[in-house]
Structure 1
Amino acid sequence: MVNGVTVHLIRHEKTDANLKRKYIGWTDEPIVEQVEFSPFVQSEFIYGSDLIRCQQTANGYFPEATFIAHKQLRELNFGDFEMKTYEQLQHDPIYRAWIDDPYNVTPPNGEDFEQFKQRVISAFMEIVEAQQNYIFVVHGGVIRVLLSQLASEEKMFQQVMAQHRMVYTLHWDSLEDLKGGARCTSYSEAHITENMRM
């Protein structure tokens, strides 16, 4: 039996929208380059968003594992800001207000931040139900929500970064600690490389 719960969070590989610095939420865009790594941690199952960029990344990183898709693990729905850049939006007063206060301002036709946070946390808690290792291949916003709520150091969403080709690892000594709302007991970040082993 595994001692405690370990969760690895990985952001999907880049899409064309990522390269062009567009807000990409629910747009189902593929990754620009299929990358294959030797699996750096072993797991029978990989959990992630149902959008293709997460599935393609999981297949490249963990070709032998089964990918289990969850719509609840999607990125924030950016509404009218979807697939637009900062340069296109910078003079929009609603956009400016949203950038300054994403907790209380919602993108037009988009998703309220509290709803986004609650669906992500709820899905995470439903999936993590045993003392074992878990791997999630998800979106930058999803990782930022989880780290702001669960990482050992308390930070606000806006203070947390989630980069491509990084693995964010959280560990709890027991499932009860995690389910009880405790922050993780240890946390680490590492670059993902072809020769990486964990």
Structure 2
Amino acid sequence: MDDYMVIACIRHGLTDENEQGKYLGWTNSSLSRKGIELLKRRNTLFEEYERCFSSDLNRCIETAHFLFPHAPLISSSLLRELHFGSWEGLTYESLKEDDVYQEWILDPSISPPNGEGMNQFGNRVELAWAQIIKQIEEHNGKRYAVITHGGVIRHLLTSLSPKNVHRTFWEWEVNHGEGYELVWKTENDWRNQTCTSLREVPLMGKADG
């Protein structure tokens, strides 16, 4: 039986800041040369999608264009990464002596200075997902891609994964230029939101769930 709905959640390609281990939330960086080359090598490994939803930040929009140049693109600021506030552009090494940072590592519900707490972030991602569902229902298609950030994907996987897949937010491994297809086998599964199964994309990894 054909899948009723497939939504791929794919992390953007590498940026210079990613390669340097810097916190990169709302900073509007573009893809690095290495990131572009990796995406060019992977774009033929992906299946096609009818439409792409994307964070409005450059690194995601650029990733969508490299991977799915023919798919219509809808961008939204709601799909941005966690806002790291005053820690944007800094590394663990430069922050490790900061008491607030150490407190945040132990309790991520605390907001970074001038940034966003995990509860606020989660509520924003849920709103983005609700808008995606609404647009999918209006479009009436079956295969979509969401090009976004690691934190957003981890939140969605934690919320929507099959009941037999037990992982916490930080246990999900989401590499740059890769992700997961969330699959709903039936319309009833889709209405219940929890997906039927997961599979890694591009199809060079193993199925999970």
TM bin, normalised by shorter chain, reads: 0.7 to 0.9
Shift of 1:125: 2.4
Structure 1 residue runs of 5 or longer lacking an equivalent are 194-198
Q: How many Å apart are 1:38 and its aligned residue?
A: 2.8
Residue in 2 aligned with 1:167? Answer: 179
Partner residue in 1 for 2:126: 121
Tell me the CA shift for residue 121 of structure 1.
1.8
Q: CA deviation at 1:49?
A: 0.2
CA RMSD of aligned residues (A): 1.9
2-structure distance, mates of 1:186, 1:148: 13
Distance change (3 Å), C-alpha of 1:97 and 1:179:
farther
Q: Could you say which residue in structure 1 is the equivalent of 2:195?
A: 184
Which ranges in structure 2 are unaligned for 5 or more consecutive residues? 205-209
Of 143, 146, 155, 1:145 maps to 155
> Secondary structure, in 3 states, of the residue corresponding to 1:8?
strand
Show the 5 A alignment for 1:22-171.
Answer: 22-33=22-33, 34=36, 35-36=39-40, 37-38=43-44, 40-102=46-108, 104-128=109-133, 129-130=136-137, 132-152=142-162, 153-171=165-183
- Aligned residue identity for 1:163: N
2: CA distance, partners of 1:91 / 1:14 = 27
Q: Percent identity?
A: 38
Give, in whole Å, the separation in 2 of the partners of 1:168 and 1:119.
21
Q: For residue 148 of structure 1, report the CA deviation from its aligned partner.
A: 1.1
Report if the CA contact (8 A) 1:165-1:192 is conserved: no
* Paired positions, count: 190
Question: Once structures 1 and 2 are overlaid, which stretch shifts more, 63-72 or 29-38?
Answer: 29-38
Question: SS state of the match for residue 38, structure 1?
Answer: helix
Amino acid of the structure 1 residue aligned with 2:192: G
Contact 2:3 2:183 (8 Å CA) reproduced: no
SS of corresponding position for 1:9 = strand
Distance 2:112 2:50 in 1: 38
